[in-house]
Structure 1
Amino acid sequence: MEQHYRVVIVGAGLAGLSCAKYLIENGINDFVIIEAHDQIGGRCRTIKLFEHPIELGSESLHGDILNNPLYQLAEEHHLIDIDDKGSDRDDCYHDEDAESIDEDVIDEVRKIYDEILEKKVPTYPYENYPDLSLGEFISAELEQYIKMKTLTLDKDEIDEQQKVINWLSKQHPYLNAIGCNKLTDVSVQGWNSLERLPSNNQYNTETAYIHGGFLNFLQRIFTDKINENKIELNTIVKRISIHEEEQYVDVEIIKNNQQLIIYQAKHVVCTQSVGCLKHSMHQMFIPPLPHAKRMCIQKLGFGTIDKIYLVFPQPFWDVDFETFNFLWDTNQLDTEWKLKCFTNTSFNSQWCKNINGFYVHHRLSNVLVTQISGEAAKYIETISDELLAMAFQELLCLFYPDNQSPLPEQIIRSRWFHQPFIHGTHTFIKIGSSIHDIKQLAVPWPNKPAKPLILFAGEGTHERFYGTTHGAYMTGIREAKRIVELY
């Protein structure tokens, strides 16, 4: 059975939905969106907990109404939800011995760290200099800082500063959105190509959430304007065959009843994640993608960030606090140790040192939230909820024994690395790759302006906003414009 469309869009995430919306607005309705999962959204995933939306993927909007088109759309539809409860609560910082670390020390080191990231890293030149990792650059700067501090501080105080540096390296607001295993994986030149949106909104806050969650946003902005029969869920793309001479593409799909169907299209817009392309590009495309495009997909980094929600009957902690931070002993980071609850299991406990603490959910006072990235995130996706809940109870009791954490009654978490057809969360430019790889990925195939058959969209194809929701949105429009201009 064969069906014909002008455009087939692969993926119903932000890029695919924005592409479809732009096509409709410009008079092209002859399209279909193919989505492998049972719902729209891609890496935006909202679920309900106690009637409140919680996010397993993208959570807040960057920037403001002037620089982020998603912010503008949310504002137009009265969907901006500002966190107004956390500003009057305190942050708590404990080390492995449950000793409190003074907030003045945190603020001092954070100021130095911010200065390195915001002022010194951007000065690293692009041309005629070897690529350097972000981790190496930051470490070299911090070594100078620590050398200076050794003149005035004793060993215990230096150790305390090192704990803060390690904590910031894993949870700094700029850095915790990469999903890499370690900062030495990230190219400093590539990092400098990522544009961060400043926030100057009227709410005087940098955290803008969405009423009803991202899923509500996607439904209101996109799917309410797209006929539901144009989005085919539970439908897997098996193969994309390009017929360049005849100027069409065959898309072999498998629906949930395992029936194989071929859709013939003038254009196919691929919005799969870089992680998905890494896994499937060799089997999916006939003939194979050009060598240059395969190489850029292989070279780009694709990180994993998982969110974890611990649900308790009521808060067992001091409600005056908003965060409970874990500052690990840097002298013991590579030392083998084991959680008591893992004693009779095959699991190791080293991933724990990637947990930097918990914060209280901004709308649910009985829920603690954390996130974990890189190889540690991939590892704990294989651990059961029951065992993981015990591990987090043990960690909370280790760092905050006065609170005596009970076992959470529920654990809710994402498993993005093992999510079929996604395999992670964020594109980043790692050592050995560059911004040119993102540009190369965004080039249609064949690269002929009048005859683009396969087009590529998604956050991993935006050279300034890769790794972001607004980047994904803008690339969907970019490729839709490319098609509209042909007609």
Structure 2
Amino acid sequence: MERQYRIIIIGAGIAGLSCAKYLLENDIHDFLIVEAQDRIGGRCQTIPLLEQHVELGVELLHGDQTNNPLYQLAEENHLLDIDDRGSDRDDCYHDEDAESIDEDVVDEVRKVYDEILEKKVPTYPYENYPDLSLGEFIWAEFDQYMTFKKSILEKEELDERQKVINWLHKQHPCLNMIGCNRLTDVSVQGWNSLECLPKDDEHHDATVYLQNGFLNFLHKVFFRQMDEDQIQFNTVVQCISVHEDEQYVDIEVLRHNQQVETYRVKHVVCTQSVGCLKQNMQELFVPPLPQSKRMCIQKLGFGTINKIYLVYSQPFWDADFDGFHFLWDINGSNNEWELESLSDTPFDNQWCKSITGFYVHHRLANVLTTQISGEAAKFIETIPDDLLAVALQELLGHFYPDNPSPLPEQLIRSQWFNDPFTRGSHTFIKLGSSIHDIKQLAMPWPNKPAKPLVLFAGEGTHDRFYGTAHGAYLTGVREAQRLVQLYKT
């Protein structure tokens, strides 16, 4: 006889695993996680490379042990991997003409950029003001900076600063968690609602990773606590039928052997990405989700960030080198810039200008890594690996002709947009949406404390930490707490 479950959790990402962990810790064992893929992790995906591990998805821990529960769990399990090299290594900044940009100029503009983001953007009011895009706000502030500089600098010096502004506009570390196409897509009020966790003094300049990767962390902290029959892989949810009057939910799933099964449960916790909900919500829910919830899913942004790793037999750069940076002149006349390697192919070249450079991997001295976001990230998923490797080799050679790069021996990359179970990587509040849309998405359906049939978790349902791993974790715990309280009262 098939086992009966009280709760179905859809998805074995961080939100689903944290929900399961909290249920187990509170003596609720009759649940089942159904996972469409053959692995846990969701948008956490660790793969082995040269006796190390690289991340195709979530990579870093934000904050410290006082404010990030994932940091706390990693510390308790002795899984912290702290890279405290700081800024001692060398970076090179070149423009499209392969001319070097002085690092002092980069530091000057970066300081202004940081001040805009950290001090001026947060002053934009919420109440009684129209929303504005983050891009418009930043550009307006930089217009004032450049107007002042015009009175004291030559044109060549001004052009250098403009190139650095353009570069930061596309790659600033604080903005890499968005995955949008342009900063003009992002609501400045929504950006202000995203809370960045501060680090302690000890690790303020360090980057905190997880030993052997995020997947190792998830296995040790979450997955090992569960019984084998509490998770079912290669199982795609086809329909969620809500019977509000009778107080149950039918979950129709398709197994990997094409067998269709139906589970009748009291509650379902949906942890699918906002990208998946955008694509599937019309067919997935019967009856349809309430109009208010459908509208908030449609309005929220869901971006794509893809990572690329280039593996070489040995470094062709100095041992103390950290990164090649590409400072595109997006306001110049060279708008028809082309790579020769793509000239006789159906692929255009505009995605190249979303590549802002390559960094040396923090644990692999012969590996360069970069990431690309927005529409360009989606587009390059259509380019074959071998052709993309040649294009990136040519791109490095164009900006750094005096440091010729060989063809990489291996190219490894993520493809989050074309993954049918993610359809992208990060939630963000785009212009026209607000924090209230995230709060609306997070509400159970029906929104009755004693009768929550369908519950929602995942990074896109946390109003302060959307787009983050710790946000996903906290939402899984939040929905598990909701269920535990229901059965304790």
> Per the shorter chain, which TM-score range?
over 0.9
1:142 is matched with 142
Map of 2:429 onto structure 1: 429
Equivalent residue letter for 2:244: E
**One-letter code of the match for 2:319?**
V
Distance 1:201 1:61, change over 3 A: farther
Whether the 8 Å CA contact 1:2–1:263 is kept in 2: the answer is: no
Counterpart for residue 410 of structure 1: 410
2:152, 2:485 → 1: CA distance?
65
| 2:283 corresponds to | 283
C-alpha distance in structure 1 between counterparts of 2:201 and 2:112, whole Å: 26
State the shift of 1:88 in Å: 2.8
Shift of 1:47: 0.1
Inter-partner Cα distance in structure 1 for 2:206 and 2:334: 35
Provide the secondary structure at the position in 1 that maps to 2:93.
strand
State the shift of 1:384 in Å.
0.3
Q: Deviations for 1:115-158, whole angstroms, at most 9, x for unmatched residues?
A: 10000000000000001000000000000100110001111111
Q: Which residue of 1 aligns with 2:111?
A: 111
* 1:296 paired residue number: 296
SS at match of 1:174: helix
3-state SS of paired residue (2:258): coil
Matches within 5 A, 1:312-327: 312-327=312-327
What is the one-letter code of the residue matched to 1:31? Answer: F
Question: How far has the Cα of 1:193 moved from its partner?
Answer: 0.4
Shift of 1:228: 2.2
Change in Cα spacing, 1:378 to 1:334, as seen in structure 2 (3 Å) is: farther
CA distance in 2, matches of 1:361, 1:57: 15
Instruction: Name 2:203's counterpart in structure 1.
Output: 203
Separation in 2, partners of 1:458, 1:180? 19
Larger mean CA deviation between 2-11 and 304-313 belongs to 2-11
Q: Which residue of 2 aligns with 1:49?
A: 49
Shift of 1:87: 4.0
What is the CA distance between 1:204 and its match in structure 2?
Answer: 4.0
Q: Percent identity?
A: 71
| Equivalent residues in 2 for 1:323-472, closer than 5 Å | 323-332=323-332, 335-472=335-472
Determine helix, strand or coil for the equivalent of 2:363.
Answer: coil
Cα pair 1:162 1:330 within 8 Å, conserved: no
Partner residue, 2:28: 28
Asked if 2 retains the 8 angstrom alpha-carbon contact of 1:85 and 1:362, the reply is no
- 8 A contact 1:2–1:261 mirrored in 2: no
State the AA in 1 paired with 2:461. Answer: T
One-letter code aligned to 2:211: H
The question of whether the paired residues in 2 share the 8 Å contact of 1:268 and 1:455 is answered with yes
Where structure 1 has 5 or more consecutive residues not aligned to the other structure, the ranges are: none
User: 1:90, CA displacement in angstroms?
Assistant: 1.0
Structure-1 separation of matches of 2:74 and 2:227 = 21
Instruction: Point out where structure 2 has 5 or more consecutive residues left out of the alignment.
Output: none
What SS class does the counterpart of residue 7 from structure 2 fall into?
Answer: strand
Shift of 1:4: 3.0
Offset of residue 337 of structure 1 = 2.4
Aligned-residue offset at 1:302: 0.2
Query: Tell me, what secondary structure is at the counterpart of 2:317?
Result: coil
2:268 is the counterpart of 1:265: no
User: How far is 1:86 from its partner?
Assistant: 5.8
Q: Which amino acid aligns with 1:430?
A: K
2:450, 2:333 → 1: CA distance? 56
1:218 counterpart residue number:
218
Kept in 2: contact 1:13–1:40 (CA 8 A):
yes
Measure the CA separation in 1 of the matches of 2:127 and 2:86: 44
2-structure distance, mates of 1:263, 1:2:
10
- Deviation of the 1:51 alpha carbon: 1.5
Deviation for aligned residue 1:317 = 1.3
Distance, in Å, in 1 between the alignment partners of 2:88 and 2:465 is 32
Residues 235-271 of structure 1: CA deviation (Å, up to 9, x unaligned): 0000000011110000000110000000111000000
Deviation, 1:91, is 1.0
Equivalent position amino acid for 1:153 in 2: L
Match of 2:244 in 1: 244
**Greater Cα shift, 234-243 or 75-84:** 75-84
Letter in structure 2 aligned against 1:266: K
Q: Is the CA contact 1:179–1:303 (under 8 Å) kept in the aligned structure 2?
A: yes
Q: TM-score, normalised by structure 1?
A: 0.98
Deviation at 1:392, TM superposition (A): 0.5
Q: Which residue of 1 aligns with 2:97?
A: 97
1:320 Cα deviation (Å)? 2.2
Deviation at 1:3, TM superposition (A): 5.7
Rate the CA distance shift 1:287–1:197 in 2: closer, same or farther, 3 A: same
> 1:308 touches 1:413 (CA, 8 Å); kept in 2?
yes
Q: By how many angstroms is 1:206 displaced?
A: 3.9
Secondary structure at the aligned position of 1:130 is classed as coil
User: Matched residues in 2 for 1:351 and 1:332: separation?
Assistant: 17
Of the structure 1 ranges 194-203 and 276-285, higher mean CA displacement relative to structure 2 is found in 194-203
Superposed displacement of residue 460, structure 1: 0.2
**SS of the residue aligned with 1:322?**
strand
Between 86-95 and 368-377, the greater mean CA deviation after superposition: 86-95
Q: Deviation digits for residues 162-197 of structure 1, max 9, x if unmatched? A: 000000011111111100000000000000000000
Q: Is the 8 A contact 2:89 2:322 kept in 1?
A: yes
The aligned counterpart of 1:123 is: 123
How far apart in 2 are the matches of 1:73 and 1:442? 25
Paired residues of 2:86 and 2:205 also in contact (CA < 8 A): no
Q: Please report how far the alpha carbon of residue 222 of structure 1 lies from its aligned counterpart in structure 2 after TM superposition.
A: 0.1
Task: Single out whichever of 298-307 and 319-328 deviates more from structure 2.
Answer: 319-328
The answer to whether the Cα contact below 8 Å between 2:86 and 2:206 also exists between their aligned partners in 1 is no
**1:201–1:3 distance in 2 versus 1, CA, 3 Å:** farther
Query: How far apart in 2 are the matches of 1:177 and 1:460?
Result: 12
TM-score (norm 2): 0.98
Q: State how 1:66-77 maps to structure 2 within 5 Å.
A: 66-77=66-77
Q: Distance in 1 between matches of 2:145 and 2:404?
A: 37
Give the letter for the 1:294 counterpart. Answer: R
- CA–CA distance in structure 2, aligned partners of residues 55 and 4 of structure 1: 36
